[in-house]
């Protein structure tokens, strides 16, 4: 019996988050003059966003599989699901993200840096000057102008520390569902010192040691969230933070990291009603919209 319990615990995937799709109930695609799509195939998650006349009509947010073209296809299908719009109504499609060259239905690809800046400009509004995107396997700090055009950026895509992947490893290690990490990291009597190892491999060893010393799981989560906030801050500090400050990507949903980061940044974080993970896809879809308006679209 005890063994069975262990077995089932092993199979639970704590890093998993819920995949979702959404359709704008106020938009009728048949009224739209220009319909474009942006597909962001990231290392961990993929999004497809359908843009009608510069507005978000529908989107999907899914886990990236081992095959980029297939992930792009699944994301687009899922976004179109629940809409009655046929795929061939999409006049222009842009691929972005880590797997952007492997989006078979894309007419062209644009880097995720440009797309995130443009997307953040849309979902947070044009007051955004600094965008922090913490994705599955990278972390980007982008400075942009009022049009969402990139002025400068810094990126870490070499090291898992300060990326979503690092947090997934910890969720798995501590058997805490990743969506609960933020909440639980605040359920501590006293804020512990941050985990001191930068490298995720060593941080894991350090965390195991802390548990053996008698630390609660929530305390270890707090210590790791704090370490991650410091790590992310070291990147945005280098590019210089200018108001207004917006955060995109999956990590924006982890209050445990973001609230601690905002305390260091000493700024207010912009608010949005949109899913922060779709920023790249939104940017890509909007670039498509601009291209079609300029007559550079492919299809009629």
Partner 1 sequence: MITAGIDCGAKNTKTIIMKDKEILGKGVTLTGFDQVAAIKRSFEAALKDAGISESDVEKIGGTGAGMEDITQANFKVNEVKAMAKAANYYFPSARTVTDVGAEMGRAVKIDEKGAVLDFAINEKCAAGAGAFIEAMARALEVQLEEMGPMAMKSDKEIPMNAQCAIFAESEVVGLIHAKTGKQDISKAIHDAMASRIVSMIRRIGVNKDIVMLGGVGQNLGFVNSLKKQLEVDNILIPEDPAYGAAVGAAMVAAEEV
Does the footprint of partner 1 cover residue 16 (CB under 8 A)? Answer: no
Nearer to partner 1, 161 or 221 (CB): 161
Nearer to partner 1, 159 or 264 (CB): 159
Does the footprint of partner 1 cover residue 151 (CB under 8 A)? Answer: no
User: What is the contact mask toward partner 1 in residues 59 to 98, using x (rule: CB under 8 A)?
Assistant: -------x--------------------------------
- Which of 166, 250, 285, 288: binder of partner 1 (CB under 8 A)? 166
Residues 244 and 42: their CA atoms lie apart, in Å, by 25
Does the footprint of partner 1 cover residue 137 (CB under 8 A)? Answer: yes
Q: Half-sphere exposure of 156 toward its Cβ, with a 13 Å CA cutoff?
A: 20
Nearer to partner 1, 44 or 144 (CB): 44
By residue count, the chain amounts to: 300
246, two tokens: 């917006």
The secondary structure of the chain, three-state, reads CHHHHHHHHHHCCCCCCCCEEEECCCCCHHHCCCEEEEEEECCCEEEEEEEECCEEEEEEEEECCCCHHHHHHHHHHHHHCCCCCCHHHCCEEEEECCCHHHCCCCCEECCHHHHHHHHHHHHHCCCCCEEEEECCCCEEEEEECCCCCEEEEEEECCCCCCCHHHHHHHHHHHCCCHHHHHHHHCCCCCCCCCCCCCCHHHHHHHHHHHHHCCCCHHHHHHHHHHHHHHHHHHHHHHHCCCCCEEEECHHHHCHHHHHHHHHHHCCCECCCCCCHHHHHHHHHHHHHHHHHHCCCCCCC
How far apart are CB 199 and partner 1 at their closest, in Å?
A: 5
Does the footprint of partner 1 cover residue 104 (CB under 8 A)? Answer: no
- Which of 33, 81, 101, 202: binder of partner 1 (CB under 8 A)? 202
- Which of 11, 158, 190, 294: binder of partner 1 (CB under 8 A)? 158
Point out which span in 18-26, 81-89, 203-211, 275-283 binds partner 1 (CB under 8 A): 203-211
- Which of 152, 199, 240, 296: binder of partner 1 (CB under 8 A)? 199
Does the footprint of partner 1 cover residue 212 (CB under 8 A)? Answer: yes
Find out whether 14 and 179 touch, Cβ atoms under 8 Å. no
The β-bridge relationship of strands 45-52 and 92-96 is unpaired
Does the footprint of partner 1 cover residue 101 (CB under 8 A)? Answer: no
Does the footprint of partner 1 cover residue 200 (CB under 8 A)? Answer: yes
240, two tokens: 């210089």
Residues in contact with partner 1, counted by CB under 8 A, come to a total of: 20
Does the footprint of partner 1 cover residue 198 (CB under 8 A)? Answer: yes
How far apart are CB 196 and partner 1 at their closest, in Å?
A: 10
Does the footprint of partner 1 cover residue 165 (CB under 8 A)? Answer: yes
Nearer to partner 1, 27 or 211 (CB): 211
Does the footprint of partner 1 cover residue 100 (CB under 8 A)? Answer: no
Nearer to partner 1, 206 or 259 (CB): 206
Q: Which residues bind partner 1 (CB under 8 A)?
A: 43, 66, 137, 158-160, 165-166, 169, 197-202, 205, 208-209, 212-213
């Amino acid at each position: 019996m005890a063994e069975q319990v262990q077995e089932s615990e092993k199979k639970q995937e704590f890093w998993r988050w819920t995949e979702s799709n959404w359709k704008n109930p106020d938009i009728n695609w048949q009224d739209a003059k220009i319909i474009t799509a942006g597909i962001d195939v990231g290392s961990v998650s993929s999004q497809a966003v359908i843009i009608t006349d510069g507005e978000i009509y529908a989107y999907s947010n899914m886990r990236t599989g081992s095959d980029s073209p297939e992930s792009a296809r699944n994301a687009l299908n899922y976004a179109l699901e629940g809409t009655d719009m046929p795929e061939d109504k999409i006049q222009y499609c842009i691929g972005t993200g880590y797997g952007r060259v492997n989006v078979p239905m894309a007419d062209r690809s644009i880097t995720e840096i440009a797309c995130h800046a443009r997307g953040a400009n849309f979902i947070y509004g044009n007051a955004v000057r600094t965008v922090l995107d913490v994705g599955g396997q990278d972390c980007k700090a982008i400075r942009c102008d009022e049009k969402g055009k990139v002025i400068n950026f810094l990126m870490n895509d070499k090291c898992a520390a300060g990326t979503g992947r690092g947090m997934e490893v910890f969720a798995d290690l501590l058997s805490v569902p990743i969506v609960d990490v933020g909440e639980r990291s605040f359920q501590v009597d006293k804020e512990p010192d941050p985990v001191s190892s930068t490298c995720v491999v060593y941080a894991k060893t350090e965390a195991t040691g802390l548990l053996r010393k008698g630390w609660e799981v929530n305390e270890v989560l707090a210590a790791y969230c704090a370490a991650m906030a410091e790590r992310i801050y070291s990147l945005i500090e280098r590019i210089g933070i200018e108001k207004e400050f917006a955060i995109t990507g999956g990590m924006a949903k982890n209050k445990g990291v973001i609230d601690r980061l905002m305390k260091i940044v000493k700024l207010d974080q912009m608010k949005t009603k949109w899913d922060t993970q779709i920023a790249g896809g939104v940017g890509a879809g909007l670039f498509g919209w601009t291209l079609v308006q300029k007559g550079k679209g492919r299809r009629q």
